[in-house]
Amino acid sequence: MECITISHINNWKKNKKKFAAITAYDSSFSKLFANQGVPIILVGDSLGMTIQGHTSTLPVTIKDIQYHTKAVRNGTSHTFLLSDLPFMSYNNTKQALKNTKKVIQSGANMIKIEGGKWLIEIIKELSSRSILVCGHIGLTPQSFNYLSGYKIQGKEKKDENRLIDEAFLLEEAGIKMLVLECIPELLAKKITKNLSIPVIGIGAGKHTDGQILVMQDVLGITVGKIPKFAKNFLSESKNIPEAISKYIHEVKTGMFPNKKYSF
């Protein structure tokens, strides 16, 4: 089976071909998702909440990400694998390079980091070393305390302008993909349309190039408050493989997310 590369993902954007991504944390689920045709898997620091039972992503360590990246890669050789750098693991260029090396050597194709302007020099350095970097703006879970919880971002004009500026600056610095989380649908549409790189949304409406969800949300096994943007695909399916196929189909056809699952 052909390995998914960043070139494939760029072509999907160019050809307006929507794509689905999902989180995974072990080999069994990564294999199942890959077999159903999920092209991109994220080893997210969401594992702090979904796997470890914390109330936020902040306790996750680089060792945790390494461990789960290796496990997920063992489940699929061809899927494009994206891994988070966790909280306080990329404070400066030297630290970012050190920890990126660990994650890439564990099997990731690309690393994802949260934040805006302060990341510019770090992104430039990583990119100069031929490291694929995915940005993440909007609701950034590692800023949980600073943002006073998990709230929609970009509702005010000044915040909208800041997010647009950050998106352009990050692309100019060298990111090859961008995640937009919990922002208004029309803002996400504007950013996606004006960037040349693929944009993946989560709680950002239907106009992004791709969609990503936490696997527990897709399967309806989320513990605690269920995000507005999360849809339980298993409730409409006979089994897990069918639920994943349904998720992929609804993303590709633009059925998901509809207004119910958008801001």
Q: Which residue has the tokens 């060792």?
A: 63
Structure tokens given for 61: 């360590």
Reported as type and span, the H/E element at residue 157 is helix 157-173
**What does the radius of gyration of the chain's CA atoms come to, in whole angstroms?**
17
Residue pair 188/160 in contact by the 8 Å Cβ criterion: no
Non-local CB neighbours of 108 within 8 Å, separated by 6+ positions: 43, 69, 73, 81, 82, 83
Quote the CA–CA distance of 176 and 161 in Å, as a whole number.
21
Quote the CA–CA distance of 20 and 183 in Å, as a whole number.
18
> Three-state DSSP class for 171?
helix
Which active-site residues does the annotation give?
181
Backbone angles phi, psi at 141, to 5 degrees: -55, -25
Dihedral sign for Cα 144, 73, 177, 90, please: positive
